[in-house]
Structure 1
Amino acid sequence: MKTLIYIGNKSGVSKHANMSSIDILGRLLEESGYKIYYASSKKNIVLRLLHMLWVCFKYSNRADYVLIDTYSTLNFYYAYFVSQMCRLLHLKYIPILHGGKLPNRLQQSPKLSKAIFNHAYKNVSPSKYIKSKFEAFGYKNLICIPNSIELGNYKFKKREFDEANLLWVRSFSEIYNPFLAIKVLKALKDESINAKLCMVGPDSDGSLQKAKNYANELQVEVIFTGKLDKKEWINLSENYNIFINTTHVDNMPVSIIESWALGLPVVSTNVGGIPFFVKHNENGILVEPNMESAFVDAIKKLISSKNYGNKIAEEARRCAENLDWNVVKNYWIKVLN
């Protein structure tokens, strides 16, 4: 049995955040036969870093690899110190490259970036977008292993498109631009289009209350559910026929893959890594960021042509099947074995 150390945000379920990568991928790897030691669940940033370093030291004689969830903000510094500890202990470490803003960090912190990524056993990118950005900075030790879902948890449903029932699923954060979804609903209503909007997700930076206030200001009724677990929002999705992704910054959001699996055609901004896996008019519809008129035009096209929406949804489901964990885990096994 291979033994791994997994470094990331192991804080568990929180009302302010969706489940983190370490919780999802870690469980799937354990179920695939790997023994994993985790760090860290500590809240204090200094204690968290010390715990991460301690776990690497404690299990250095047992671990075959160290996985490090790597983001662009505070976590970047955790990744730096842990990677340097791994170098001292002669541990093979694998940064997992998350977040649409991570390429900015390569420019902001070139020396720290080189210290982390040039000495990694492999740098794993969930998207071709991040991989291409790293390659543009001269990094070579890269492999793309996409985000995945457990397809059996998602039942494909053929939708009717006689009205616009919009579903938005994300953390309420400025970078995900939840206010645009409300603007889109208002614009549809102004054109006398039968539409409704449900927004699912935890509050990340105070944007949830701002979104509620904005909906009241525009005098449109929006359903705000707060955070739902996976099963709850999948059940909720039965009542909706279009998924909208309004973000300013993105990489390869799992919520889009989940929508594909459920049969919800996706209308998304064409930012970051989105165009690398959502193909316009094939498995989704791409529009310019922060333009409610572009969203409205795409939604009107979906509800004016039943065949168009179903064609996109069926192709999207085929794409989701290629991102099932039973497929993706083989990429991980190849790297870790």
Structure 2
Amino acid sequence: MKILYLGNKLSQHGVNLTTIETLGTNLTQAGFHVVSYSSIKNSFIRMLHMFYGILKHKNASYILIDTYSTSAFWFAFFCSQLARVLKISYIPILHGGNLPQRLLSHPKFCKLIFKNAYKNVSPSTYLKHHFDAFGVTNVICIPNSVNLMDYHYLERSNFSPKLLWVRAFSTIYNPKMAIDVLNLLQKKFPEATLTMVGPDKDGSLLETKNYAATLNLTVNFTGKLSKSEWTALAQAHDFFINTTHFDNTPVSVIEAMALGLPVFSTNVGGIPFLISHQKNGFLVPDSDANEMAKQIENSILFPVKTMEVVHNAKTFVGLFDWKVVKNEWMDILR
């Protein structure tokens, strides 16, 4: 069975891996013939390349389309409509944490995409809830997957204020909040450290570096690392922080759980559908660095409770193993 997969395949240009490269590889290994577009950096030419892919592979059984809430939303719109003209079944994979707002701001375009899809796949019940309310009822929840064998789970009995942040540097992910958390923690724990991993997306990397400098804080900015590199680096850290303004189901949070890192995140978008506060992670209000620092301090002072949360997360993350998720993709594609 041939599957055409459309998305931003840009890791060769210094961007973090996206689902087209991870899920696409997993589906290939599962026996599907997967053809993917596009790795072209220029966004306009990338869209044209996707159109070319649709025309060249119009005999595909399905087209998978990574669907985001910002400018890449239009890739999904135009590609889905070309698929409709050619009568090819297409499946949007819903990634954008701000897609609920897109449903409200562009309802006609959204109906053309999502109501005419063979199925829509959401990695969380968060987006399914909003799509159901919008009147799009053909949404199936299939979680983002990880290969758990690729992650070394480290059992910790004590916790030090060694913070790890992994994301692209973009305003929507609020990287400066991580600096604020470090600044607050160092007032009580002078040995507190912060490592920030990820490529620049919109100039936020330099802005964050300058912000740290104005506070006289030393932060380890690594730039983009491969998955094997940053997961190895994680062994020297004790806390994972996620500071985003809005999000869906970030794979980095799932990966942190698989590594045995307690996760502290802003309570936005699909995050509360992924993290239950003080059960398998810790939640704080958006932009509330004070509360995040306080939660981390409590986790240091009460390690038994922190260990309980980490163990719960380890059990929970088993639901995201590709060995489990693969069966759900088999059901929808076959």
Query: Secondary structure of 2:193's match?
Result: strand
CA distance in structure 2 between the aligned counterparts of 1:58 and 1:45, rounded to whole angstroms: 20
CA distance in structure 2 between the aligned counterparts of 1:50 and 1:211, rounded to whole angstroms: 34
AA aligned opposite 1:11: L
Is 2:27 the counterpart of 1:29? yes
Task: Call closer, same or farther: CA 1:169–1:121 in 2, change over 3 Å.
Answer: same
RMSD between aligned residues: 1.3
Partner of 1:202: 199
Match of 1:58 among 45, 56, 59: 56
Partner of 1:120: 117
Deviations 1:29-64 (Å, cap 9, x if unpaired)?
A: 101100012222233444322322222222222x11
Query: Secondary structure of 1:197's match?
Result: strand
Unaligned runs of 5+ in 2: none
Query: Secondary structure of 2:317's match?
Result: helix
CA distance in structure 1 between the aligned counterparts of 2:19 and 2:189, rounded to whole angstroms: 41
Task: Call closer, same or farther: CA 1:43–1:236 in 2, change over 3 Å.
Answer: closer
- Which is further off, 155-164 or 236-245? 155-164
Partner of 1:8: 7
AA aligned opposite 1:181: A
AA aligned opposite 1:6: Y
Match of 1:292 among 289, 293, 296: 289
Match of 1:225 among 216, 222, 243: 222
On the 8 A contact 2:90/2:117 being kept in 1, the answer is: yes
Partner of 2:320: 323
CA distance in structure 2 between the aligned counterparts of 1:71 and 1:151, rounded to whole angstroms: 26
- Which is further off, 109-118 or 52-61? 52-61
Offset of 1:154 from its aligned partner?
A: 0.6
On the 8 A contact 1:161/1:302 being kept in 2, the answer is: no
Offset of 1:193 from its aligned partner?
A: 5.0
- Which is further off, 320-329 or 36-45? 36-45
Offset of 1:71 from its aligned partner?
A: 1.0
Deviations 1:259-305 (Å, cap 9, x if unpaired)?
A: 10010000111000000010111100111111111011101111001
On the 8 A contact 2:10/2:16 being kept in 1, the answer is: no
CA distance in structure 2 between the aligned counterparts of 1:117 and 1:18, rounded to whole angstroms: 27
Query: Secondary structure of 2:12's match?
Result: coil
AA aligned opposite 1:60: K
CA distance in structure 2 between the aligned counterparts of 1:115 and 1:68, rounded to whole angstroms: 14
Deviations 1:245-269 (Å, cap 9, x if unpaired)?
A: 1111111000110010010000111
Q: How high is the TM-score relative to the length of structure 1?
A: 0.96
Partner of 2:299: 302
CA distance in structure 1 between the aligned counterparts of 2:73 and 2:235, rounded to whole angstroms: 38
AA aligned opposite 1:8: G
Percent pairwise identity: 49
Offset of 1:89 from its aligned partner?
A: 1.4
Partner of 1:86: 83
Is 2:232 the counterpart of 1:272? no
On the 8 A contact 1:176/1:246 being kept in 2, the answer is: yes
Partner of 1:40: 38
- What does residue range 216-255 of structure 1 map to in structure 2 within 5 Å? 216-255=213-252
Partner of 2:188: 191
Partner of 1:101: 98
Query: Secondary structure of 1:4's match?
Result: strand
- Which is further off, 318-327 or 35-44? 35-44
Match of 1:159 among 156, 159, 180: 156
Query: Secondary structure of 1:80's match?
Result: helix
Task: Call closer, same or farther: CA 1:237–1:89 in 2, change over 3 Å.
Answer: same
Offset of 1:14 from its aligned partner?
A: 2.3
Partner of 1:70: 67
Offset of 1:136 from its aligned partner?
A: 1.4
CA distance in structure 2 between the aligned counterparts of 1:191 and 1:256, rounded to whole angstroms: 26
Q: How high is the TM-score relative to the length of structure 2?
A: 0.97
On the 8 A contact 2:10/2:17 being kept in 1, the answer is: no
AA aligned opposite 2:52: W
On the 8 A contact 2:267/2:284 being kept in 1, the answer is: yes
On the 8 A contact 1:171/1:203 being kept in 2, the answer is: yes
